[in-house]
């Protein structure tokens, strides 16, 4: 797994959390 891919996954998870909790 490349570091760039890991960063994009972390960003997506952060966006999901933000959407979930407003």
d(CA 14, CA 17): 5
Between the CA atoms of 16, 18, 21 and 22, what dihedral angle is there, to the nearest 10 degrees? -120
pLDDT of residue 7: 80
Note the pLDDT tens digit of each residue in 1-22: 678 777 888 888 888 878 787 6
pLDDT of residue 1: 65
The Cα-based distances of 7 to 1, 13, 15, 21 in angstroms read 11, 10, 13, 21
Q: Which pTM value belongs to this model?
A: 0.26
């Amino acid at each position: 797994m490349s570091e760039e891919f890991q960063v994009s996954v972390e960003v997506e998870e952060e966006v999901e959390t933000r959407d979930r909790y407003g």
